[in-house]
Amino acid sequence: MILSFFDQFMSPTHLGIPLIALALSLPWVLIPTPTNRWLNNRLLTLQGWFINRFTQQLMLPINLGGHKWAVLLTALMLLLITLNLLGLLPYTFTPTTQLSLNMGLAVPLWLATVIIGMRNQPTAALGHLLPEGTPVPLIPVLIIIETISLFIRPLALGVRLTANLTAGHLLIQLIATAAFVLLPMMPTVAILTSTVLFLLTLLEVAVAMIQAYVFVLLLSLYLQENV
C-alpha cells in the first residue's frame, strides 16, 4: 500500500483512543530530576547550567514583575525542545507539527500577556496601537492596522513552528525515499543523496532547537511590552 507523505503528521490512535496526550507526557519522563546528593552527575550539572543560562538571558530585559514567568517560559522551552528533537527519531510522532497544539500553546500565553498589560498599564498598552506623532487623518487607519497586527501574533507563533517542522520532516522523507529508490539503480548517486540526508538531519536538529527558542523568545518580548 502506497502511503502519503503527510501520513506521518496524523495523530496516532490505538483502538480509537488518541495517543497525543501520551506523546506530550512521555518527554517529561526523559528529563533527569535533581537528587538529594551533594554532587550531581555530569548530565544534571549540564542541564542545570543550561537552564540557568537560558533563564538569565530570557529574563534580562524584562522588569522584575515579569520574572514570575521564568518557570513557565523555561518549562515551555524544555517541552518544545524535547518534543521537536524526539520527533526526528524514526517511527516517532511529533506533536508540534499539529497546528491545533501550537495554537493551543500560543493563544492562551499571548492572551495572558495582553490581559496583564491591560490590567497593569492600560494607557501604555493601548498606546501601542497608535505610534507617536501620527497625522490626524491616518489615526483610524493605523489603529485598525495595529489591532490586526496584534491579533495576528498568536497565529504567527503557531504557524511558524508548525510550518518549519513540517517542511523539515517532509524534506527528510523525500530525500530518504529518493536514496532508497536510487540505491539499486545508481549506488553512487544514492550515496551522495544519503550524504545530503545526513547534513539535512543535522540542520533539522538545529532548526528544532532554534524554533523552540524563537517561540519562547517572542512570548517574552510580548511580555516585556506589557509588564
Tell me which amino acid residue 32 is: P
Report how far Cα 151 is from the mean position of its chain's Cα atoms. Answer: 19
Closest alpha carbon to 50 in 18, 73, 78, 80 = 78
- What are the b/e assignments for 88-103, b being 16+ CB within 10 Å? beeeebbbbbbbebbb
pLDDT tens-digit profile of 71-99? 999 999 989 999 999 888 888 888 888 88
Is residue 7's pLDDT more than 90?
A: no
pLDDT at 23: 78
pLDDT tens-digit profile of 128-175? 777 777 787 888 888 888 889 889 999 999 999 999 999 998 999 889
pLDDT at 1: 38
To the question of pTM greater than 0.75 for the whole model, the response is yes
C-alpha cell at 171: 524534506
Query: How far apart, in whole angstroms, are the C-alpha atoms of residue 137 and residue 146?
Result: 15
Residue with more model confidence, 188 or 15: 188
Query: How far apart, in whole angstroms, are the C-alpha atoms of residue 94 and residue 84?
Result: 7
